[in-house]
Amino acid sequence: MKDFRARYGPWALVAGASAGLGEAFARALAARGLHLVLLARRREALERLAVALRAAHGVEVRVAPCDLARADLAEEAGRFTAGLEVGLLVYNAAHSVIGPFVDRPLEEHLRVVDVNCRGPVTLAHALGGAMARRGRGGIVLMSSLAASQGNPLLASYAASKAFGLVLAEGLWAELRARGVDVVACRAGATRTAGFAASRPRRRVPLSDPDDVARRALEALGRGPSLVTGAVNRVAAFTFGRLLPRRLSIRIMERATRRLYE
């Protein structure tokens, strides 16, 4: 724990921290002794989490209500982190659009791009420079198994997660020589309020958010990406290495339709 804080502390910023995986990351980092800046839209949820983390771990927690799709995100991040040495960024926030691409409003797809693509680029750039100058730090970008191939009915979301995966791989290669560890975590379906809110029609195996967060943090410095969960790793290898891409896309289409139609 002390080694982790020395390398990635003393402060961490978690984007999308109000529930689910973001909350799990916040708990895991507080347990490691890092002070936290928590970003999300819902102030009340952030405040409740902050109170619990301060009481349980004695860390400082700053609450930063913020829409991660906003155009001035870099300026807002600078305001929230002014005077702090932020050694770790976790970008967990995500927006998804479920349904036929052309039947959903363009504004929904553009929000996917803003939250899932422009957001991590903005915060990685805003915080990564200081990490590189200090010669230490870490960046965790949450991707998805959906990043492996096109996913009908989730076309914008899957494409945005592929962007995050490739972004993390590029930053991993660029920044490791400057002491900054970068990793993309490709998680499958996870037991979160967000997944429940998507109203799946069938039960599917769900990962535990605390386990996903722990494994992602443990993967820092070990490689550019990881897939959490044995079943997910088999699926990622099968879709990415064994099956023709056309077949992988068709399988994902059938699976998504069974889940949501």
What's the rounded Cα separation, in Å, for the pair 122 and 137? 17
CA angle (85, 89, 90) in 5-degree steps: 150
Helices (H), ranges, the chain: 2-8, 20-31, 43-57, 73-80, 106-113, 119-134, 155-175, 193-197, 209-218, 230-237, 245-260
Cβ–Cβ under 8 Å, residues 91 and 120: yes
Residue closest to 261 by CA, chosen among 94, 253, 206: 253
Catalytic residue positions?
Answer: 157, 161
Residue closest to 22 by CA, chosen among 199, 195, 165, 142: 142
What's the rounded Cα separation, in Å, for the pair 97 and 153? 8
